[in-house]
Structure 1
Amino acid sequence: MPISGKKYHRRSLGENHDMRPETLMMGYGYDPSLSEGSLKPPVFLTSTFVFDNAQHGKEFFELAYGKREPNAGEESGLIYSRINNPDLEVLEDRLALWESADKALSFSSGMAAIATTLLAHLRPGDVIVHSAPIYGGTEYLIRNILPAYGISSVEFESGIEHYTLEPALNEAQGKGKVGMIYVETPANPTNGLVDLQECARLADALAAKQGHRPLIVVDNTFLGPVWQQALAHGADISIYSLTKYVGGHSDLIAGSAMGRAEVMAPIAGFRTILGTMCSAHTCWLLMRSLETLKIRMERSAENAKVIAEFLQQHPKVAKVHYLGFLPKGSDAEAIFKRQSTSAGSTFAFDVVGGEKEAFALLDNLQLIKLAVSLGGTESLMEHPYSMTHSDVPDDVKNRLGMGESMVRISVGIEHVEDLIADLSHALDCM
């Protein structure tokens, strides 16, 4: 018989041993006995589910649409795959484990997760204060789409050397109610950092002034969930492009958001109405990928460290924006060590020259693929100025250090000596 709406959980071995997330990815939230003994959850490619009786249908809809609170031990039954689906539920149970979140939600893309979250929690007249640089799609949403709905924005620069969050919040208060602090840390593509504990402190102080505490929303794609857990450091909502490290094979598009139950409930409601949920097959692929997430991220981070050290010594490389190279004893290093446990495997570097030299490097790669995205098993490189961040105004890119000489690399799990040989050849061709 198929898996029922009742979830199956087991997080401990005996009474005294809680299993780690990488172990729980193999079976948490799923009972094989409910699906003909299938070791892995089947793909539930169905639009609708049959109720046992009319009363069950009524009760399921009451919970799904928040018409009443659940009774003790009661969980919403399966209704329709825009609302819930077994693959969706098992995936979200497992995603939540990495950051100890009450609730995780999965979406059809990272931008679907971002847009649904912002629309669920922002209202006309609100101001969103956001770090810069951020992913180009997010930048476009905030700068060009939200103003049509009466939501304005104020930016502040990530990177401790130019930290301007507090002045940005002061400016935002002159425009309206600060509804959200949205940050990307480390930043894409500069690896600039934002102090999440400072964000939480300032949000608390602002609550006393305006009677509303702005939510702290963090795009945790670059280092999470293995190397950074944003919720543990002051974030209310942690957002991911699951396309990247979690998916990890460059064969799917998906996103997620996770946090406390009360802040996730409005997002879940908007997702149901907007229809931005993740498909059952994509959920199944993500569950596959979660089983190897940690070992993939470990290998790619090891490779990245070696490559960053090689690039730092190369005469045709002007600067390497790698988190492992933060100045010793600096505030940036202190924040990095407090919030993160690895420098990860995606970083940018500046070549000597400009667009011509950067393009020559990219065009002469043989093993590393010239493509956008990041976090896959294969290594990728791209030119942020003209590609992923092309929608960002040129003056903003230059001000934030994303010049035409910058290239971004996402290091995969190939043999590191092969990757260095490819980079060495391409740099020699510049």
Structure 2
Amino acid sequence: MHPSTLMMGYGYEPRLSEGALKPPIFLTSTYAFESAADGKRFFEGITGKRPGGSEGLVYGRFNGPNQEILEDRLAQWERAEEALSFSSGMSAIGTALMAHVQPGDVIVHSAPLYAATEKMIDAVFGKFGVKWVDFPAHASPAEIEETIERAKGLGRVSVIYLESPANPTNDLVDIEAVSALRDRMFADAEHRPVIMCDNTFLGPCFQAPTQNGADMSVYSLTKYVGGHSDLVAGAVVGTRDALAPILALRNTLGTITDPNTAWMLLRSLETVQLRMEKAESNARAVATFLKDHPKVERVSWLGFLDPSSSQGEIFKRHCSGAGSTFSVIVKGGEPEAFRLLDNLKTVKLAVSLGGTESLASHPAAMTHLSVPEARRAELGIGDNLVRVSIGVEHEDDLVADFEQALKAV
């Protein structure tokens, strides 16, 4: 079955919940065992003394019915072995990295990254002697190979962390090339680094990194999956082996999402494909209008990629849709970008993306403000860049809003 069909009932049996068509919200911190032997067996699975994980429900920090149904359904989008839900996108990323990175290791990552991810790698993991080496998201396989080779000289490379499309430039990473390089360059090594890919911008409908060579995809479920700007959550989706240490650490840290948020995400998953397809259609209309506007320098919507270019070729291999988040580079600088933002009416001035409503923000002054100015310039995050997330309003109203706002620029 298609994932969009499975979202209506996969992993849930109504007869086990008084015939309720939709899962109840299980607001409990702990679960009663039928016998002491059951309790022992469940804890053996939770603690890793017995392989296979818990056979039953134990405690709210470990698992719960709403979270398990959510995880079963999330895995379907990438045909993955397993999924884990988290209290936020950053708790998903942080738990995944902590589970796989040891003090003194080296992380190779694409650039740019979401600013909080970059800060975590640099400032938080840096306290434990972890080093990092990066390559541009649009780098060629040869450039990526050179970066990995340089990283190998600094210590044990434990993680190759990708963000594709990159936030906010929309540059694509060749995940297949990275996977092939990893397999070749670490074929005889004692340790083979895991490949993590942030799939927030195009997931879960338009890209499946685990099908292109990544060991796991990480998500901010706050964005397209949640889709209504009313919750915060995250996820990791991937192979059972890659997720096993992450699950063990999540059990210790308690970074699992809560039952109510998990239930809301189950509701949202039923319409995620409808919402993402409508938003992409709207994005095409808005981006097409902006592309030829005299006050706009460039629009970085993936639908405009030249199929014969290296980025266009990656898009054809990895993506089934162009998404609805992109950057608009206006002619001028911060004053012109701010005037555009301040004069939008239907499109709201707010960070985040992937909701039903259209949003616009200024990465250099907002989400990436913590990134040093020189680093932002190096990454292509200029003062004239506006990030846009297109929602599901009528496309004519969105085009009209940008048209009137640009008159003030």
Residue number in structure 2 paired with 1:37: 19
- Note if 1:284 corresponds to 2:263: yes
Residue number in structure 1 paired with 2:347: 368
Residue number in structure 1 paired with 2:204: 225
Q: Distance in 2 between matches of 1:392 and 1:399?
A: 11
State whether residues 160 and 331 of structure 1, in contact with CA within 8 Å, keep that contact through their aligned partners in structure 2. no
Aligned residue type for 2:84? L
State whether residues 382 and 407 of structure 1, in contact with CA within 8 Å, keep that contact through their aligned partners in structure 2. yes
Residue number in structure 2 paired with 1:421: 400
- Per-residue deviation at 1:161? 7.0
- Note if 1:80 corresponds to 2:59: yes
Aligned partner (choices 373, 383, 388) of residue 367 of structure 2:
388
State whether residues 158 and 194 of structure 1, in contact with CA within 8 Å, keep that contact through their aligned partners in structure 2. yes
Q: Distance in 1 between matches of 2:368 and 2:156?
A: 29
Overall identity of the aligned pairs, in % = 54
Q: Distance in 1 between matches of 2:159 and 2:185?
A: 11
Q: Distance in 2 between matches of 1:411 and 1:173?
A: 41
Q: Distance in 2 between matches of 1:117 and 1:308?
A: 35
- Note if 1:256 corresponds to 2:235: yes
1:343-382 to 2 correspondences below 5 Å: 343-382=322-361
SS in 2 for 1:45: coil
1:323-334 to 2 correspondences below 5 Å: 323-334=302-313
Q: Distance in 1 between matches of 2:187 and 2:104?
A: 19
Q: Distance in 2 between matches of 1:240 and 1:69?
A: 26
Unaligned segments of structure 2, at least 5 residues: none
Q: Distance in 2 between matches of 1:280 and 1:165?
A: 41
Q: Distance in 1 between matches of 2:222 and 2:244?
A: 23
- Per-residue deviation at 1:295? 0.3
Aligned residue type for 1:21? P
- Per-residue deviation at 1:75? 5.8
Q: Distance in 2 between matches of 1:30 and 1:195?
A: 37
Q: Which moved more, 1:60-69 or 1:215-224?
A: 60-69
1:68-217 to 2 correspondences below 5 Å: 68-70=50-52, 76-160=55-139, 164-208=143-187, 210-217=189-196
State whether residues 370 and 382 of structure 1, in contact with CA within 8 Å, keep that contact through their aligned partners in structure 2. yes
- Per-residue deviation at 1:326? 1.5
Q: Distance in 2 between matches of 1:240 and 1:137?
A: 14
- Per-residue deviation at 1:206? 2.1
- Per-residue deviation at 1:209? 5.1
Q: Tell me the alpha carbon deviations over residues 313-346 of structure 1, each in whole angstroms, 9 at most, x when there is no partner.
A: 1000001111111224112111111000111000
- Per-residue deviation at 1:69? 2.9
Q: Distance in 2 between matches of 1:419 and 1:159?
A: 30
- Note if 1:63 corresponds to 2:42: no
State whether residues 165 and 201 of structure 2, in contact with CA within 8 Å, keep that contact through their aligned partners in structure 1. yes
Aligned residue type for 2:332? G
The size of the alignment, in residue pairs, is 409
State whether residues 354 and 404 of structure 1, in contact with CA within 8 Å, keep that contact through their aligned partners in structure 2. yes
SS in 1 for 2:26: coil
State whether residues 26 and 259 of structure 2, in contact with CA within 8 Å, keep that contact through their aligned partners in structure 1. yes
State whether residues 105 and 256 of structure 1, in contact with CA within 8 Å, keep that contact through their aligned partners in structure 2. yes
Aligned residue type for 1:65? T
- Note if 1:313 corresponds to 2:292: yes
Residue number in structure 2 paired with 1:20: 2
**TM-score, reference length from structure 1:** 0.93
State whether residues 129 and 172 of structure 1, in contact with CA within 8 Å, keep that contact through their aligned partners in structure 2. yes
SS in 1 for 2:363: coil
State whether residues 105 and 268 of structure 1, in contact with CA within 8 Å, keep that contact through their aligned partners in structure 2. yes
- Per-residue deviation at 1:211? 2.6
State whether residues 353 and 389 of structure 2, in contact with CA within 8 Å, keep that contact through their aligned partners in structure 1. yes
- Per-residue deviation at 1:164? 3.0
Q: Distance in 2 between matches of 1:264 and 1:353?
A: 46
- Per-residue deviation at 1:207? 1.3
